[in-house]
């Protein structure tokens, strides 16, 4: 189920002003009040309610791990960072890090390894000079 917020600001000034079950309602209210804001004008955001609930019910966990270019995994841990699922990047040691939903460590490693292979194949692995 989708929900829609009328929000404004960013970072520490971010605020959800109202929530709606209908996108048209949210856009209508947003457009109506927007003219009263010179700065930090309101905008509509879309969210999926209970987005990961079914997957978590099926026994999946949120894993965080790092992987070097050769495919060696390290720092594997189960985390509660539900808002980070799918996030990835490179740490200061040029290791890929990623948050994934997985059944177990082996599944988490395979998922991150697939991302590693994709990045290498597309020449998107961050290159650092020594």
Sorted by where each begins, the domain ranges of the chain are 2-48, 54-121
Give tens-digit pLDDT for 72-83: 999 999 998 888
More confident residue, 109 or 47: 109
Element (DSSP H or E) covering residue 122: none
Element (DSSP H or E) covering residue 93: none
Give tens-digit pLDDT for 61-100: 999 999 999 999 999 999 988 888 899 999 999 999 999 9
Degrees, nearest 5: CA angle 86-87-91: 140
Q: Which residue has the tokens 């955001």?
A: 45
Asked if pLDDT for residue 110 goes beyond 70, the answer is yes
When mean pLDDT is compared across 78-82, 109-113, 119-123, the lowest value belongs to 78-82
Distance (Å, whole) CA 115 – CA 101: 13
Mean pLDDT, residues 87-115 taken together: 95
Asked if pLDDT for residue 128 goes beyond 80, the answer is no
DSSP letter string over 22-86? -HHHHHHHHHHHHTT-SSS--EEEEEETTTTHHHHHTT-EEEEEEE-TT--EEEEEEE--GGGTT
């Amino acid at each position: 189920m989708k929900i829609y917020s009328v929000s404004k600001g960013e970072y520490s000034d971010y605020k959800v002003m109202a929530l709606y079950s209908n996108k048209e309602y949210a856009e209508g209210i947003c457009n109506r009040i927007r003219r009263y804001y010179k700065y930090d004008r309101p905008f509509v955001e879309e969210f999926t309610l209970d987005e990961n609930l079914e997957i978590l019910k099926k026994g999946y966990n949120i894993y965080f791990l790092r992987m070097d270019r050769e495919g060696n995994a390290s720092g594997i841990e189960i985390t509660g960072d539900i808002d980070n699922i799918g996030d990835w990047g490179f740490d200061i040691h040029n290791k890929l890090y990623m948050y994934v939903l997985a059944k177990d460590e082996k599944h988490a490693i395979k998922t991150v390894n697939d991302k590693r292979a994709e990045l290498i194949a597309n020449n998107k692995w961050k290159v650092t000079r020594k």
